[in-house]
């Protein structure tokens, strides 16, 4: 066993997982632009896009109709979640062969804490070996990032994609993170990014150098967490058996909105994003919900049980819009709207967790 102070985490992320499984299972699809997702006529969204499709600007969460316009030769395949679950279990078994401390984030992505299994001089060989074993046993490419925190490991894998390997050595975290764009940091969403950029904070290094008091006054308790991540010193543990309770998205408008058409546009964007995340994670939910905040900051939620579990934007949007539409009143304006799905089908939820 290595010294107690030693800590090293890998972030493993399968490249274009759903699309890569389809190309592997059907050799005729190799080299072709492939997407996995629902048909455009049912408001389908792209759950995964092969790298050939991405060359045309096709991206996850994009409406399928837009994707087909960008790439007329696009091959669309309906998701086969049972197959993706099967391959995911095989991959998680490979990860568990290295360490029991695995935190699955989705079917194709996980953190691995190798601190108790690997010494500092063994990390490079172990990470290369992990990539080789995944390719040899599954025929798929996995990108691996590594660092002394989950933040550093995750960003390293983002930069290394596709089929890459980037391991950040201890004490080099800040030098690695400093020049990167601030929006690469987990927790910096559109709203936070806008505030930071308005104050000239454009890189992770700028954020790391921010005054603690200003961060707390501006972001509350999140300010300390943001700075820790920017410094690469966050201590969040790798937590096995991570369970997803809900998938949601929300937006705070730049000005209060009461216009029905504008609100529906926002809801459509959110529903498509939620559907893409559900499909990416292999989840279907039986409860649809909206979160609403009025101009006076009154905040409330509304929800409804669906007839059947869903991961389709074409189902989520009408339900969410109906819930919001019931709250429309003359003169009522909204500051924030959100869309979510929860109450996941057990079979889909268990696919995210390491089997017993």
Could you tell me the residue range of the domain that residue 321 belongs to? 246-350
- CATH number for 222: 1.10.150.20
- Mark which of 152, 168, 184 sits at the end of a domain: 168
- Same-domain pairing of 61 and 2: yes
- Same-domain pairing of 57 and 104: yes
> pTM (2 decimals)?
0.71
Note the Cα 78 to chain centre separation in Å: 21
The number of beta carbons lying within 10 Å of the beta carbon of residue 54 is: 17
- Same-domain pairing of 2 and 74: yes
Do the beta carbons of residue 212 and residue 223 sit within 8 Å? yes
- Same-domain pairing of 70 and 132: yes
**C-alpha dist (Å) from residue 238 to 9, 106, 126, 149:** 8, 14, 18, 9
- Same-domain pairing of 199 and 255: no
- CATH number for 297: 3.30.1490.100
Over 90: is that where the pLDDT of 42 sits? Answer: no
**C-alpha dist (Å) from residue 125 to 7, 81, 119, 136, 286:** 17, 33, 11, 16, 44
- CATH number for 22: 3.30.70.270
Q: For residue 238, is it within any domain?
A: no
- Same-domain pairing of 264 and 307: yes
- DSSP, collapsed to helix, strand or coil, labels residue 5 as coil
Residues 111-156 have pLDDT tens digits of 999 998 889 899 999 999 999 999 999 999 999 999 999 999 999 9
Average pLDDT over residues 233-260: 83
Q: Give the active site residues.
A: 109
Residues ≥6 apart with Cβ < 8 Å to 51? 15, 16, 162
Residues 55-98 have pLDDT tens digits of 999 998 788 999 999 999 999 999 888 898 899 999 999 999 99
pLDDT level of residue 1 (50, 70, 90 thresholds):
very low
- Same-domain pairing of 150 and 184: no
Residue whose C-alpha is closest to residue 223's, from 196, 183, 251: 196
How big is the chain by its Cα radius of gyration, in Å? 21
CA separation for the pair 273, 270 (Å, rounded)? 5
Q: For residue 184, is it within any domain?
A: yes
Say how many domains are in the chain: 3
Q: For residue 355, is it within any domain?
A: no
- Same-domain pairing of 8 and 153: yes
């Amino acid at each position: 066993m290595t010294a107690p102070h030693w800590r090293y985490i890998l972030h493993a992320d399968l490249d274009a997982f759903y699309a890569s499984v389809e190309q592997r299972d059907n050799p005729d699809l190799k080299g072709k632009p492939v997407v996995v997702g629902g048909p455009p006529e049912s408001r389908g969204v792209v759950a995964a896009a092969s790298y050939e499709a991405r060359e045309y600007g096709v991206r996850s969460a994009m409406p399928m109709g837009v994707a087909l316009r960008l790439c007329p030769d696009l091959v669309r395949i309906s998701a086969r979640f049972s197959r993706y679950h099967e391959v995911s279990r095989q991959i998680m078994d490979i990860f568990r062969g290295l360490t029991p401390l695995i935190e699955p984030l989705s079917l194709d992505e996980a953190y691995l804490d190798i601190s108790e299994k690997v010494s500092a001089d063994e990390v490079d060989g172990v990470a290369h070996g992990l990539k080789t074993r995944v390719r040899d046993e599954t025929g798929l490419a996995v990108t691996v990032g590594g660092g002394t925190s989950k933040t550093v490991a995750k960003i390293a894998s983002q930069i290394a994609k596709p089929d890459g390997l980037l391991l950040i050595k201890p004490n080099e975290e800040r030098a690695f993170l400093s020049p990167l764009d601030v929006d690469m940091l987990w927790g910096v969403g559109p709203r936070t990014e806008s505030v930071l950029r308005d104050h000239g904070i454009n890189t992770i290094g700028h954020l790391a150098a921010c005054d603690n008091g200003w961060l707390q006054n501006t972001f509350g308790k999140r300010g300390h967490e943001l700075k820790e991540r920017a410094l690469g010193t966050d201590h969040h543990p790798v937590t096995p058996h991570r369970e997803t309770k809900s998938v949601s998205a929300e937006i705070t408008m730049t000005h209060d909105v009461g216009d029905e058409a504008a609100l529906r546009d926002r809801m459509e964007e959110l529903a498509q994003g939620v559907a893409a995340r559900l499909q990416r994670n292999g989840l279907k939910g039986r409860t649809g919900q909206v979160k609403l905040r009025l101009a006076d900051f009154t905040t409330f939620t509304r929800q409804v049980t669906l007839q059947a579990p869903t991961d389709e934007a074409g189902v989520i949007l009408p339900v969410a819009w109906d819930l919001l539409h019931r709250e429309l009143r003359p003169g009522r304006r909204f500051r924030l709207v959100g869309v979510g799905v929860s109450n996941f089908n057990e079979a889909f939820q268990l696919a995210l967790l390491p089997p017993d």
